[in-house]
Structure 1
Amino acid sequence: MPKSHGSVRIDLDTSERASSELRWDQGIASRGHLKGQPATIIRPVSSPAARPATLTVEERGASQNASTTAISATDIAPRISPSWRYSMGTPSSTALCALLETQSTQQLLYHYRCLIASKLAWIDSVDNPWRSIILPMAMESPSLLFSILSMAAGDLSSKLSNASTPNDISTKSNIYRELAIKHLATELADYVTTTSINSLTPKGATITLAATLVLCNLEVKLPHSTLWPIHLRAARAVIHCCAINDHLSNATSDTHSFLLQKFHSMNAFASMSTFDDLEEASSDNLRHQHNNNNVFLEVLQIMQEVTRDQRRQMVNYHDVEPSVMDSCQEVRDKLSQARRKTTVLCREAIMTDSENTRSDLATIADMFYYAGLIYSHQLLALQCCPNQLGSWGSIILDKLDSLREVGSFCQNLLWPLFVAATEIPWDEERQTLLERRIQQIVELSGHWNGLRVLDFLRNFWKLRRVGRVNWIDLARDWAQRGESFIVI
């Protein structure tokens, strides 16, 4: 690896402006009961004419030196423009301090803090753990810091359409990613032998878990990446190690609880489109840990139970299945209760009194409710109301049209849209509309792995036109070919 990666000239679009690259606008609905009426659509926002800020960014070889310099803590006081300044405390080594003092690093951390962290949470808040917990921990973990820098560089590269050398920004992202994986591999080696495990501390295990989860989220944000399951399995191994070794127990830590919740949430989403073994312990964590940072966990918990029941039916097909009507009514009752709780949690979590914000969150809660109904009926093969699945899908799409502040909550929209999309295989007009919406939401949220979800839907729609195919069976085929995807 070269000692210096040179300098990059960037015509900066600030994070605040990048967050509004797409917006809902007024158009005419082309389907459903709103057909022919004014409806909300997504349009690109033209770049403002003013505010160019061309900077020269020098790395000074800090990323290469970060893995070799001795430990010596110092306070950080970045000598940069106040608008980019973000001090997180005391780094654990002079190497990290040197890296953090570069203007390039400060810009990337600012981008993570202001934009990316807001899209990693269900709802952004003043105590968003992706900022308040993850950033300070990065001062003690090269793997975590490099993961954050890689994520920020990759996201910024995708948003700077007028950058003079965007490929160099992307290169920086790849370099930081490789460094993060290198450091994490070293940390995970300590979980192999009894001797090395005995030398671990709860704090160290928590930091390692954080690094694996950030890397997992980093892979999800990359287009067509298939590496996220590796990091998810690594996180599971760390959690298992902590569970069976008393000296690593950190159950009362808010930080550890947050990370466990993020793991189990990611695992629940992954289990819907992959067919790995499900973790029985996941349900307890999803069921009992509720706060403003976990507003949609009520619905996700139900979906996890449905997924687990369907997988068990596949293995134990000789078991007596519950009554169809009883199962349908139970799902409806649970989802109705979850929708009410979700709406209350959303109201408590928001940082504004905006009526549009409250209305949008209630609408998204409705979208999750109807998506949950569709998904449950699909997986459990409930035949009580087959004609309603298409109607529920249309309701989801109609509610999407009513959103006014989609930029604030775009990270929550892909799953309900995906579920709705599985119920419109013969409607080419709506398929085209959905393709455009999913592409735009992926761009706005920065979760570029959503393009893989779109590839799957196109494959599903194509097969559905020539014969009957179940999307769950198709997802299983993809998984067997090593082409797993996650809808998140």
Structure 2
Amino acid sequence: MNTLQSEQAGAATQASASSPPTTGPQGAYWQPPLSPYCPTCVRRRIRCDRSLPKCIKCSKKGLVCPGYGPRLRWANGIAVRGHLKGRTTPHIDKPPPKPSSTASKDSTSPRSATSLEQSSAAQPASIVMFPGFPDPDTKSRLLEHYDKQIAGLMVWIDSERNEYRRLVLPLAEQQPVLLLAILAISAQHLAVTTGKEMSFPARARDAAVTMISKQIRDVTGQLAAGFDLDSQIDPDTAVWMLASMLTLANYEMTETETGAAAADSHRQAARTLVNALATTNRENNALFHFLRNQLSIYDILACTTIFGPLSTVEVILPAPDHSNLIFSEFLSLLHKVTVWSRERHEKESSGIFNLADLPITSADARAGFEQARGSTLMAAGLLELPRDARRRDFVRIVDIYHHAALLYTYRVLFHCQVEPIEVEASAMVLFERLNQLEDKPSCLQNLPWPVFVAGTECCEDPERQAFIARMYTDIAQDMGFKYYLGILRFLQDLWSTKGTPWTELARRYEASGKKIVAV
């Protein structure tokens, strides 16, 4: 596993950038003196006015000001469990250089898991020497399981355009870390869905994290110090690192009911990597753009239920030039609601909140999400879905997210200071659409977040509670992700503590080390 290490922007950071990271026992992080300036101003190389609660220069530019506290970054890769627990990062030789350009072009063409087996005899030394690395037959079976069962769970709609299957899987041939991550999640998913336990997944995960940590440690250090990263990381390296991080985040969700904290560390690492590349010209890569947008979906939805002070800082938003992607406009508006709700909470805690300070009204929110729904349906036309149950279910999914977002907005931003009829209308449609899905197995991966929101709306309704419990049980069992059973435990706790806002209970969970990530 990886650890969090404190990073500071400004002169204090630059002065210490050349020193190795300082960690305490079991990866406890060392915190240098706080910089007097906000990291956004430091990165833009302008003088920060240090206004509270956020600097005026960030406000005028419409930027999210992260304040003046410490920022945490993923680095050094010290394991917190498994056989690597407590160890520092060992020296591991870098993977061999890429094959020739001809081979590289071939690797990006659609290929099946069976074709990957043919190159197993030429595995890099770092993989061949890995203790317990599966034999060629087992490796082929695990890659095929990823191809047939897991890749489809990681996108809105599975199709021949699924880049996890079309591009990421062949890339694993060339990148040992990505191969380990894919084999780990595939073996773990098989163990969960078939009941056959394997010792390989956790060790593969630890090895992959260690190797990623070795690569990213210097990169994040250089970024914190303000150096140009053009010579530090190339597009191919960025792609396999980002693909590995997203895969490992999903792995953690399959392992335990409490895997959110571990998965979240991989999300934070991926966020750090993408933000680092945003300052360079190295992100112009089709697969990187796909993975970046996948991270954006994960990042924005995760932020709705995580409440740490830095949870909404430097979030990966949908790329502006990819506005035609499905749900991109929806996700951007949803994140704005999350940021505004956190600002309201901070002002209320300080006793300075005024309802007139909210940047939008409930009517504005409804209009904004309605427009986003239309944009999503128009963008979905590019998918050319056949006129069957999958097409009808996708339209229902769009409605489900629309009304879930409205209910989320009513609760976290307006604290239900809206007409009760509006709240009940969205709740009714949300439950109706969930119940109307014709082919649930093909769209279960899209349901954890809206089903969570639906679950927060039925504290007084045993019938709806039973429906949500069945939904989350099906999601956990059919997808093979144990973590969703932990979300159900949270909802059952919420239902038993009548009158407690779900956000308050989620904050309590987070304070005790149990993050709620309904993604």
TM-score tier, shorter chain, comes to 0.7 to 0.9
1:188-222 deviations in Å (ceiling 9; x for gaps): 23325549964433332332222222211221333
Q: Return closer, same or farther for 1:353/1:120 CA change in 2, 3 Å cut-off.
A: same
Aligned counterparts of 1:201 and 1:286: Cα–Cα separation in 2: 20
Which residue number in structure 2 is paired with residue 187 of structure 1? 215
Give the structure-2-normalised TM-score: 0.70
2:390 to 357, 370, 374: 357
* Pair 1:214 & 2:255 matched: no
1:253 to 285, 294, 302: 285
Q: Return closer, same or farther for 1:310/1:95 CA change in 2, 3 Å cut-off.
A: same
Aligned counterparts of 1:202 and 1:275: Cα–Cα separation in 2: 32
* Partner secondary structure for residue 115 of structure 2: coil
1:377 to 385, 410, 427: 410
Report how far residue 357 of structure 1 moved.
Answer: 1.5
| Contact 1:112–1:148 (8 Å) recurs in 2 | yes
Report how far residue 461 of structure 1 moved.
Answer: 0.6
In structure 2, what residue type is equivalent to 1:150? A
1:314 to 316, 340, 345: 345
Aligned 1:90-239 pairs, distance under 5 A: 93-95=123-125, 102-160=136-194, 166-167=196-197, 169=198, 171-194=199-222, 198-223=231-256, 224-225=258-259, 226-239=261-274
Aligned 1:204-353 pairs, distance under 5 A: 204-223=237-256, 224-225=258-259, 226-244=261-279, 246=280, 249-276=281-308, 277-279=310-312, 282=315, 284-285=317-318, 288-290=321-323, 294-317=325-348, 318=352, 320-322=354-356, 327-350=361-384, 352-353=385-386
| Contact 1:118–1:128 (8 Å) recurs in 2 | yes
| Contact 2:234–2:282 (8 Å) recurs in 1 | no
1:241-270 deviations in Å (ceiling 9; x for gaps): 3234x3xx3232222222222222211111
* Partner secondary structure for residue 383 of structure 1: coil
Q: Return closer, same or farther for 1:370/1:312 CA change in 2, 3 Å cut-off.
A: same
Which residue number in structure 1 is paired with residue 48 of structure 2? none
* Partner secondary structure for residue 390 of structure 2: helix
| Contact 1:324–1:384 (8 Å) recurs in 2 | no
| Contact 2:317–2:332 (8 Å) recurs in 1 | no
Aligned counterparts of 2:95 and 2:318: Cα–Cα separation in 1: 39
Aligned counterparts of 1:153 and 1:391: Cα–Cα separation in 2: 43
1:25-48 deviations in Å (ceiling 9; x for gaps): xxxxxxxxxxxxxxxxxxxxxxxx
Aligned 1:2-151 pairs, distance under 5 A: 71=96, 85-87=114-116, 93-95=123-125, 102-151=136-185
Report how far residue 429 of structure 1 moved.
Answer: 2.6
| Contact 2:177–2:244 (8 Å) recurs in 1 | yes
Report how far residue 348 of structure 1 moved.
Answer: 2.8
1:59-99 deviations in Å (ceiling 9; x for gaps): xxxxxxxx779848889xxxxxx996233897885447866
Aligned counterparts of 2:282 and 2:216: Cα–Cα separation in 1: 18
Provide the alpha-carbon RMSD of the alignment.
Answer: 3.1
Report how far residue 279 of structure 1 moved.
Answer: 4.6
| Contact 2:189–2:481 (8 Å) recurs in 1 | no
Aligned counterparts of 2:316 and 2:368: Cα–Cα separation in 1: 15
Report how far residue 325 of structure 1 moved.
Answer: 11
Which structure ranks higher in relative contact order (CA pairs < 8 Å, sequence separation ≥ 6)? 1
* Pair 1:472 & 2:506 matched: no
Give ranges in structure 1 of 5+ residues lacking alignment.
1-66, 76-81
* Partner secondary structure for residue 221 of structure 1: helix
Give ranges in structure 2 of 5+ residues lacking alignment.
1-91, 104-110
1:429-476 deviations in Å (ceiling 9; x for gaps): 321221122111222223332112111101111111xxx211011111
Aligned counterparts of 1:213 and 1:273: Cα–Cα separation in 2: 19
| Contact 2:299–2:316 (8 Å) recurs in 1 | no
| Contact 2:246–2:266 (8 Å) recurs in 1 | yes
